[in-house]
A and B are shown apart, each in its own frame.
Chain A
Amino acid sequence: MPLLEIDDLYTNIRLKQGEVKAVGGVSISINAGETVGLVGESGCGKTMTGMSIMRLLPASGYIASGKVKLDGRDLVAISEEEMRAVRGNDIGMIFQDPMTSLNPCLTIGSQIAEAVALHRKVKKAKAMERAIEVLNLVGMPKPQERINDYPHQLSGGLRQRVMIAMALSCEPKLLIADEPTTALDVTIQAQILELLDSLKDQLGMAMLLITHDMGVIAGRADRVVVMYAGKVVEQASTEEIFASTNHPYTEALLASIPKMDGSVARLYSIPGIPPDLSNPPTGCRFADRCRLASDQCRDNEPPLVTNDQNHSFACFHPVGIEANHVKITLKVEAEEIQRIEHADRKPLMVLEHVSKEFDITKGAILQRKAGTLKAVSDLSLTIYDGETIGIVGESGCGKSTTGSMMVALEKPTSGKVLFNGEDLFGHKPKELRLIRSNLQLMFQDPYASLDPRMSVGTIIREPLDINKIGTSQEREKKVISLLSEVGLSSRAVERYPHEFSGGQRQRIGLARALALNPKLIVADEPVSALDVSIRSQVLNLMKDLQRTHGLTYVVISHDLSVVRFLADRIGVMYLGKLVEIGTGYDIYENPAHPYTAALLSAVPEPEPEREKTKVRKIIKGELPSAINPPSGCRFRTRCERATDLCAKEEPPMTSFGALHQAACHFPLISKVEIRTGAAAF
């Protein structure tokens, strides 16, 4: 008998008018000791399924029908008091955002101990002992001392460890982890996932891993359940679902993720958007966006059928089974074709020893300087006309500040930013304005980057108005043509941003950025706020526009696969420093800097074989403070190869290939001597 058996679960959420049918007949079973991955895009009902198990639905939500059996006992039917004895005791849960999921007014020790005291009926002191024990278990350094800390005194990674300790304190049989690493940086994500995996084995518990990230699933789950629009569409063992996908949605989802090996030049994108669940369609819910859909799909709902490999799917035209339904083929371009002949290109923007420091002040009257935050330190970089440069790094590495300096939003503390050979900051404000029209910014948050009080037409026309380009009619025309270029109808002109989805807003932002015919666009996390299927649409569009407009991109992202997809050359930043730069191949296949290598191995990839066999180089510890960065090489505090030399001397940038440079005393590959003249060969 499975440990947890969800049987035909329906969960609804009441709205002012009508109801959202968030979960529409889901059946999942989890065996003891098993990890089941629940994947899907936002709004597919995966979180609501998790919350239904715990009966922790929002006030307007309720379980309409179905059973949730834990060890044979139906949790839907028991009283609230009985349910309380299950929560935290038989089932533990961890949530997405560790920054907001802990009570700021109570010490972490007391927050863990209260669950122990409640379920194990022990005294406070005894519960505290147990709290220290589990904190030790989750790898909290010096738990004895940390027990009386408040949440805000800990970093995000440590807080998530506290959350895990809390969920595991009573050794539950099942752990529900709802996007446990989405809010964390890649290296911390790897630490937490590794921890969850090993704890699961130690305690012999089962885990329901809810996530949108196929990579996380590939490496950690035994079985995968894919949800779409409140329904389970496919379910199989992890190997099976990646190797022989049957449902077109799963297939499309996998095809829309950029690959880390850079083998895909163009992503698949699912047309349309998910259906409105307050009024779900009668047939297959994916039919409207499916490339294989027939009338049968629109009229009838396909049942979930299971084949002999214990692989179930709900589709009339499964991929790879009916002979006439070929798989999606993606255009693959060889690395060599894409390679840019840099010798022919002229530099568009040059950053010369650029640093940016922010003063930290104290005191109300005197504003004494208490320290400086070294956001970017001595960064030199040349951007060639027509190329795409990617900048990767974890939060706080200074990549966004670098981007702001490139578009003249921030003035460097020292160093120069040259555009077409002219210093950006050596101009009068009026002249700077003229130059600025060449430099545009694409924002991360599609909700914050468009003024909600302006119509889309006004928003796109604003740059033309400001720079007094063309007559009124010409501007109107330009707006329409820009809209069509980004794939939106001219009817959008009259509408307001709130009427558009995230992906559409990102297109509107792109249209606005293109209005002035810029040379360089700095895209700061252009797709990280978007769902996977929407993401690929925007990424493809960015590539198309680069070709038609001859754009140069600087793509800033924490997501290494996105950067790999877009960029010709990639720079890796750590704590304000550029530590390595090179082509996609150099960085991803042949990294020289230990940080680059560790960062890459931390990224979960949607390939089970690779994920399960991968030798992980997990970076220990947390990012040091940028107010007081370590001496010498800034990465040395977390580096396996570090010696005394690394603390004493800052490593200089050295070459490892024509376009490949890194700053490390003990690089992973050998340096090459480049003789001038011969390099081009």
Chain B
Amino acid sequence: MIAFLVKRVGQSVIVLIGVSIIAFILEHLLPGGPAKAILGGRASPFQIAAFNHANGLDKPIWEQYFVYTGNLLHGNLGRSYKLNQTVNSVLATDLPKSIILVGSALILSLIIAIPVGIFQAVRRNGIYDYAATSVSFLLYSMPSFWLGIILILAFAVNLHIFPSEAPQGQTIGAIITNPRAMFLPVITLTLVSYASFTRYMRSSAIEALAQDWIRTAKAKGLSQRVILFKHMLRNALIPIATLVGLSLPSLITAGVVTESVFNFPGTGFRFINAANTEDYPLLLGIIIVIGVMTVVGNLLADITYAVLDPRVRYR
């Protein structure tokens, strides 16, 4: 177990260094380099030279990288000149709201996907299995923004049950005190991630059910219920922990799109706006933070896996 943890944390550290290198490269990809990006298109060559000198951008590239990562390690993500705010303070207001949105959708989708997947596995190739498979297949093949639009058309425009826009407001309070307005964005994101979770849960459960030890359990005279919930469930759930970790990037992607469909005041919405206003420091800052969160999330998922699976726990 400890050997596994050390190895896994080591990998994460390497990947984190990789993320910082990518962010560094992206910054240097900007037309005219970081200086022009930060000072804006109308900066004079003289201004740029002065900026470069002041920020150490005339030093060798590897030295610049160390300065850059040094800043990152101190939690300094730079400054958005377009918003006249530090990137840190922008994220401090936006990020918690996005976490609430993505987190509740993740939990909700797991709550639905796990039982449905198991049910499909037990009744596989039956009529309900085909129906459920078709639904998830359709959801899986649907652009998430289009799903959002359809839900708006149905529930907001035609039925007037839910508002078409997410709750607006700067604080978290404004978000969580308006569940009606939260409904459609959360459901959109839930359905998107449900589609991939349930497919995976189904095959994971089918695999578990085909194992020899299921036959052993039957030979003991256990009932179907005990076999399913005591023997099969745990084995089938273990890989789900890893899956959740691996699906974080696509979940975040879907989150960005959903936020933009519903004007949800979170990081994703901010990211799209930053892209349209060419606010590069903010874009980079968000990329780094989300990259780090993904790596840490993945690490947590794998640790959960190790704790759940005795084969890793007692090695």
Contacts and interface: CB of A to CB of B under 8 A. Distances in A.
A95 B216 contact: yes
Contact of B219 (A88, A97, A106, A118): A88
B3 A101 contact: no
Contact of B220 (A88, A105, A362, A363): A88
B128 interface: no
Contacts of A365: 10, 14
Interface stretch (B26-34, B50-58, B75-83, B230-238): B230-238
A119 B223 CA distance: 12
A115 B221 contact: yes
Contacts of A115: 220-222
A609 to B, nearest CB: 35
Given A101-B212, A364-B7, A87 B218 contact: yes
Interface in B200-252: 211-213, 215-223, 226, 230-231, 234-235, 238
B10 A103 contact: no
B110 to A, nearest CB: 19
Contacts of A102: 213, 216
Interface in A57-102: 84-89, 92-93, 95, 97, 100-102
Contact of B311 (A93, A119, A152): A152
B238 A362 contact: no
A150 interface: yes
A175 to B, nearest CB: 11
Contacts of A54: 219
Interface string A268-309: 000000000000000000000000000000000000000000
Given A105-B235, A105-B238, A152-B310, A100 B212 contact: yes
The range of chain B's interface size is: 20 to 34
Contacts of B178: none
Q: Chain B at the A interface: mostly helix, strand, loop or mixed? A: helix
A275 B230 CA distance: 42
A243 interface: no
A153 interface: yes
Interface residues of A, number: 33
Greatest chain B CB density within 10 A among A102, A105, A119, A152 is at A105
Given A362-B3, A363-B6, A364-B7, A87 B219 contact: yes
Contacts of B213: 100-104
Nearest to B209: A59
Contact of B218 (A56, A89, A152, A362): A56
Nearest to B312: A152
Contacts of B314: 150, 152-153
B44 interface: no
Contacts of A88: 219-222
A84 B234 CA distance: 23
Nearest to B125: A59
A100 B207 CA distance: 13
A103 B216 contact: yes
Contact of A101 (B8, B215, B223): B215
A515 interface: no
Greatest chain B CB density within 10 A among A101, A102, A103, A104 is at A103
Nearest to A103: B213
A435 to B, nearest CB: 41
Interface string A102-124: 11111000000011001100000
Interface in A502-527: none
Given A84-B223, A105-B235, A95 B311 contact: no
B7 A150 contact: no
B312 to A, nearest CB: 10
Greatest chain A CB density within 10 A among B7, B216, B309 is at B216
Interface in B271-315: 308-311, 314
Contacts of A101: 212-213, 215-216
A109 B109 CA distance: 35
A166 interface: yes
A138 to B, nearest CB: 16
A85 B221 contact: yes
Given A103-B217, A105-B309, 7 more contacts: A87-B218, A92-B219, A95-B216, A95-B219, A104-B309, A114-B220, A363-B7
Closest 6 CB pairs of A and B: A87-B221, A88-B221, A88-B220, A364-B10, A100-B212, A150-B310
Interface of B: 3, 6-8, 10-11, 14, 211-213, 215-223, 226, 230-231, 234-235, 238, 308-311, 314
21 contacts: A54-B219, A56-B218, A84-B221, A85-B221, A92-B219, A93-B219, A100-B212, A101-B215, A104-B213, A105-B235, A105-B310, A106-B230, A114-B222, A115-B221, A119-B221, A150-B314, A163-B216, A362-B7, A363-B10, A364-B7, A364-B11
Interface of A: 54, 56, 84-89, 92-93, 95, 97, 100-106, 114-115, 118-119, 150, 152-153, 163, 166-167, 362-365
